[in-house]
Amino acid sequence: MIDYQLKTTSDGSHTLYIPQIDEQYHSLNGAVTESLHVFIENGYLYNSSLSPVVLEVGFGTGLNCLLTALQAEKLKRATTYLTIDNNLLPPEVISQLNYDKILQGSAKNLFSTIHKIPWEVKTPVSEYFELHKINADVTKPGWQLKELCNIIYFDAFGPDKQPDMWKEEIFRTLFEMTLPEGVFVTYSAKGEVRRRLTKVGYTVERLTGPPGKKEMLRGRKWRIN
Ligand SMILES: C[S@@+](CC[C@H](N)C(=O)[O-])C[C@H]1O[C@@H](n2cnc3c(N)ncnc32)[C@H](O)[C@@H]1O
């Protein structure tokens, strides 16, 4: 039984802490701030596809998904969001999270729909956002998707806590699923992560990280890769 502890981060938004692995779902320097910086600004908004397919590794609380849905509606940018997780949070934990209150507006309805829709079925959440939640273990074979992606959010627990998720084979599979001109973003800036991403074919750049982190990584797949 996992013990999820609710924590309030520096920008007032919640995250979850798991004492068994001494790890939290987001940065304590601001969960919403981190997600906006790493995944929305440097991933979703950086990629210029008119109707992107986003793949998220690690659905967790649904915060990245909610922020992407809000952007898709704001920009009227038809977005398909595929997200994978092998450990679904209990509803009583999700209901304590304050993202809908912090983000206001349509966030309340979107957050509730994101969590209500069934797993394993691609389902419209709003006019410009459709969601396919996939219950699968990324470290095991058999989860490959049919769709190729424009943007990959890699949001696993840290490489020190969960090294199996940061292996070269996983990055190679994700690279094969990335469309030309597609991007891969992650909050980690570890040298070994950067080297593995480069080895599988991404052109990797170090970007300024969110508050409390000097750097993050973005990989790009060129047309000729
Ligand atoms: C850092 S949290 C993700 C935070 C999330 N993106 C959010 O917005 O709240 C990491 C997530 O990866 C999931 N995870 C861990 N191991 C996994 C695996 N082998 N396959 C798929 N998901 C995994 C965890 O269950 C957890 O939800």
pLDDT tens column, 63-122: 999 999 999 999 999 999 999 999 999 999 999 999 998 998 899 899 999 999 999 999
Q: Is 23 a domain residue?
A: no
User: Residue 89 carries which side chain, given as an amino acid letter?
Assistant: L
Tokens matching residue 156: 């696993």
Q: Is 66 a domain residue?
A: yes
Query: What is the Cα–Cα distance from 93 to 90, expressed in whole angstroms?
Result: 5
CA of 224 to the centre of ligand 1 (A): 31
Q: Is any ligand 1 atom within 6 A of the Cβ of residue 137?
A: yes
Main-chain phi, psi angles of 181, to 5 degrees: 75, 5
Q: What pLDDT does residue 224 have?
A: 66
Q: Mean per-residue pLDDT for 3-7?
A: 96
Q: Is 187 a domain residue?
A: yes
Q: Is any ligand 1 atom within 6 A of the Cβ of residue 60?
A: yes
Report the candidate in 53, 81, 80, 68 with the shortest Cα–Cα distance to residue 179: 53
* Alpha carbon nearest to ligand 1 atom 2, residue: 25
Domain range for residue 110? 30-220
Residue to mutate, 87, 153, 164, ligand 1, most ligand atoms under 8 Å from C-beta: 87
pLDDT digits (tens, 9 = 90+) for 34-51: 999 999 999 999 999 999
Q: Is 83 a domain residue?
A: yes
Q: Is 10 a domain residue?
A: no
What's the CATH number where 55 sits? Answer: 3.40.50.150
pLDDT score of 22 more than 80: yes
Report the candidate in 64, 78, 83 with the shortest Cα–Cα distance to residue 124: 78
* Alpha carbon nearest to ligand 1 atom 18, residue: 137
pTM of the prediction?
0.97
CB atoms within 10 A of CB 28: 15
Number of domains in the chain: 1
Q: Is 50 a domain residue?
A: yes
Q: Is 159 a domain residue?
A: yes
Q: Is 65 a domain residue?
A: yes
Q: Helix, strand, or coil here: 219?
A: strand
